[in-house]
Chains A and B, each alone.
Chain A
Amino acid sequence: MKSAKTRSNVIVHIILAVLAIIWVFPIFWVILTSFRAEKGSYVSTFFPKAYTLGNYVKLFTDTTILNFPKMFVNTLIIAVFSCLLSTFFLLSAAYCLSRLRFRMRKPYMNMAMILGLFPGFMSMVAVYFILKAVGLTEGALIRLALILCYSGGAALSFQIAKGFFDTTPMAIDEAAMIDGCTRWQIFTKITLPLSKPIVIYTILTSFISPWVDFIFAKVICRANADQYTVAIGLWKMLEKEYIDNWYTCFAAGAVLISIPIAILFLKLQKYYVNGLGGAVKG
């Protein structure tokens, strides 16, 4: 009995190790590339022949063609604000739909369902026209436009958060109500603290979307190079006219923008694990 257990443990650990290597390999490779001294995207050896920090230096000093520091700041601003807005939108919608009963509840859920079925950027051109009509497509206002784009539809993807709220016991809410809490207090002081995993999940995903998305950013920024986000910048580095000079810088940029996100992720991932374990049982 005991040996069977050890054997299955060993097998599981081997499987995990192999998988972990597969998952970490590309990241390892891009870190290597970011320190590579040879230029160009095609190499004949896996490990670089010489190492350098020059790629990082170039990224921040060579601002004539692609102004990376500026893009970084742009994206950070957009990410912070759209994260705040969309987290608020999404969680409040999820809470209302899970805990409150109102007439528009089912219609809203059906509507969200239906809207989610349309290809996301089918409306992209139209969104651009609308933002243009209200004058948000010039200069620094592009940032506001992008923030709105990223957070505007957040309340439509409430499903995961709602599912989570649904599994937290209604008894807690009822007890609080008897103690004289308003629903707003229940939402902020009970439901949210009890739902840390989902709150953090929401924050993370909404913080990340501006870093990942380049299609929307590209359509809305158009030729306004000083409003570019990191994603457009990195994409540009891989275009034919830049790739020979900028490929290793692309890797350096990739490493750099991954760092803040990685830190956030690793700091906060424990909330996923702890979950609701034992808030109210039975």
Chain B
Amino acid sequence: MNLKRKATALEGRSYPTVAEIFHDGGTTTKCSALVMGLGNMAHKQLCKGMLFLAAELAYIIFMVRSGIHNIAMLPSLGSVPQAEVWNEELQVYLYTKGDQSILILLYGLATLLLTLIFLWIWRGTLRSAYRAEELDRAGQHVPAFSEDLKSLLDENLYRTLMTPPMFFILVLTILPLLFMICMAFTNYSKIDNHLVLFDWVGLSNFATLFDSGSVLGGTFWRVLIWTLVWAFFATFTNYFFGMILAILINRKGTKAKGFWRFCFVLSCAVPMFVSLLIMRTMLQPEGAVNVLLRSIGVIAPDASLPFFTNAMWARVTVIVINIWVGVPYTLLQLTGVLQNIPTDLYEAADMDGANKVQQFFSITLPYMFYVTTPYLIATFTSNVNNFNVIYLLSGGDPITNLASTAGDTDLLVTWLYKLTIEKQYYNIGAVVGILTFVILAIGSLLTYRNSKSYKEEGGF
């Protein structure tokens, strides 16, 4: 047994590789590589075998009818433009159906993905056939179809529970992502009018964005730095503020815990979308905040604070408002975790005479970091990708550099939105998306893999 097999054996049952099956398997097992399910049918698993065979037939029919064509069109992405043809009988111009590169790309990718899934099922049938053969040969009981079904609620429960979510993830997350990644290598953009027919252009979009001399390139670096600053502050202000608030509310001496929690949760109960729009209107030059400040005489009657009109003000404003929006959620999330801290740790600390601040730093914080590292990373990345807060609050404003497509509070994501939806520079948008990913991936994968909670789950 090789090392890899040993490693997988630790995670579950050990599985033979395809090569091993071809080496050790019997005739029917080997034949199941061509006629899927044959091995199962030959070894008392008729229903299972029939299911595998049906899957194979469905795949072949699909490939013959449209799959092969879909893949064949991928390299060229289509070249036939829509044309007007004079129809003599009807006396009108009719439009012929031209190629639509975007659909060709989508169908081609979907077919490729389906093929991968099919290969995975194919390997599964081989294994299943091999296992049935092994059991049969050893004279052991080969599980009947009903037993297989029953095991789906017990030792194979993960298959039942993971398959539906996995299907939707494939169709609605992975496929669209691959699709967008491909766009980054095409000229699908309003520039030069490539919205119907477009071609592969290699890495030239990346070159444009990295060239800090160009307008797009200069904007990219500026937006990137602000995005990182924003994500850092947004994450940690919320985390610490929420944690301290949770501790304050839950400490022994605090009266009316329910009431305080109610006050904060109330702002959670208002959809974030709404509270952000409210905040935006309140912070306008003529909004409630300025009106209030004027009437109590903090600022002159005709002055207003430049919440979204001055770059620095706007940046601080979005971070502060983000605290207002986010802390109630953090409070709710962290309360549960805080209460899972074993109380005997605190009792022991009390005995040793540690005060509350010391307890916070040597018990609460380490425990919280241990349990919530994945949460923190997730929050950081979701803040880098925090579309709602920026888009609804400031909309990326103020725009100080009129030539660029991004304002001073624009994050990479809101810029991406502007590039794709408003400007229709799909390819540049996709490049921005990929670069966001790369930056996040390098940072968080390293921290995540080094975090204790990944290395020793459930150890604390």
Q: Which residues of A contact B (CB under 8 A)?
A: 5, 8-9, 12-13, 15-16, 19-20, 22-24, 26-27, 29-30, 41-46, 89-90, 92-93, 95-96, 100-106, 108, 113-127, 129-130, 133, 148-149, 151-157, 159-160, 163-164, 166-167, 170, 182-184, 187, 197-198, 201, 208, 211-215, 219, 231, 234-235, 238, 247, 250-251, 254, 257-258, 261-262, 264-266, 269, 272-273, 275-277, 281
Contact = CB atoms under 8 A, between A and B. Distances in A.
A130 B385 CA distance: 23
A255 to B, nearest CB: 9
17 contacts: A23-B328, A24-B266, A41-B284, A96-B162, A116-B381, A117-B436, A117-B444, A121-B387, A122-B433, A157-B378, A160-B378, A250-B277, A261-B271, A262-B270, A265-B265, A269-B265, A275-B340
A26 B174 CA distance: 39
A145 to B, nearest CB: 10
Instruction: With a 10 A CB-CB cut-off, give which of B8, B15, B381, B391 has the most chain A CB atoms.
Output: B381
Given A27-B266, A117-B381, A269-B265, 17 more contacts: A13-B255, A23-B264, A30-B274, A46-B291, A89-B165, A90-B165, A92-B162, A96-B157, A101-B12, A104-B162, A113-B444, A119-B413, A121-B417, A163-B374, A231-B271, A261-B269, A266-B269
B172 A153 contact: yes
A131 to B, nearest CB: 9
Interface of B: 8, 11-13, 15, 102-103, 106-107, 110, 153-155, 157-158, 160-162, 164-166, 168-169, 171-177, 179-180, 245, 248-249, 251, 253-255, 257, 260-275, 277-279, 281-282, 284, 286-288, 291-292, 295, 324, 327-328, 332-333, 335-337, 339-340, 342, 371-372, 374-375, 378, 381-382, 385, 387-388, 391, 412-413, 416-417, 420-421, 426, 429-430, 433, 436-437, 440-441, 444-445, 448, 453, 457-458
Given A101-B12, A183-B157, A201 B263 contact: no
B11 A106 contact: yes
Contact of A235 (B255, B277, B292): B277
Given A122-B429, A261-B271, A262-B266, A115 B260 contact: no
Contacts of A152: 168-169, 171-173
A269 B267 CA distance: 13
Contacts of A41: 281, 284, 286
B433 A24 contact: no
Contacts of B157: 96, 100, 182-184, 187
A275 B273 contact: no
B281 A238 contact: yes
A167 B372 CA distance: 12
A101 B333 CA distance: 27
B103 A272 contact: no
Contacts of A234: 273-274, 277
A30 B381 CA distance: 31
Determine the main DSSP class of A at the interface with B.
Answer: helix
B318 to A, nearest CB: 15
A119 B270 contact: no
A120 B278 contact: no
A104 B162 CA distance: 10
Contacts of B448: 113
A235 B395 CA distance: 13
A102 B11 contact: yes
A19 B263 CA distance: 9
Contact of B378 (A116, A247, A277): A116
Contact of B12 (A103, A160, A170, A258): A103
A15 B180 contact: no
Contact of B245 (A19, A24, A261, A265): A19
Contacts of B444: 113, 117
B335 A273 contact: yes
A265 B458 CA distance: 30
A265 B266 CA distance: 8
Contact of B269 (A45, A113, A120, A265): A265
A276 B277 contact: no
A126 B184 CA distance: 13
Nearest to B8: A103
Nearest to B244: A15
B261 A269 contact: yes
A153 B378 CA distance: 15
Contacts of A269: 261-262, 265, 332
Contacts of B270: 27, 30, 254, 258, 261-262
A102 B158 contact: yes
A163 B335 contact: no
B8 to A, nearest CB: 6
A167 B374 CA distance: 14
A126 B180 contact: yes
Nearest to A159: B374
Nearest to B441: A117
Given A93-B162, A148-B172, A214 B281 contact: no
Contact of B260 (A16, A184, A197, A238): A16
B232 to A, nearest CB: 16
A122 B271 contact: no
B340 A276 contact: yes
Contacts of A149: 172
Contacts of B417: 121, 215
Contacts of B267: 23-24, 26-27
Nearest to A9: B253
A275 B339 contact: yes
B153 A257 contact: no
B457 A166 contact: yes
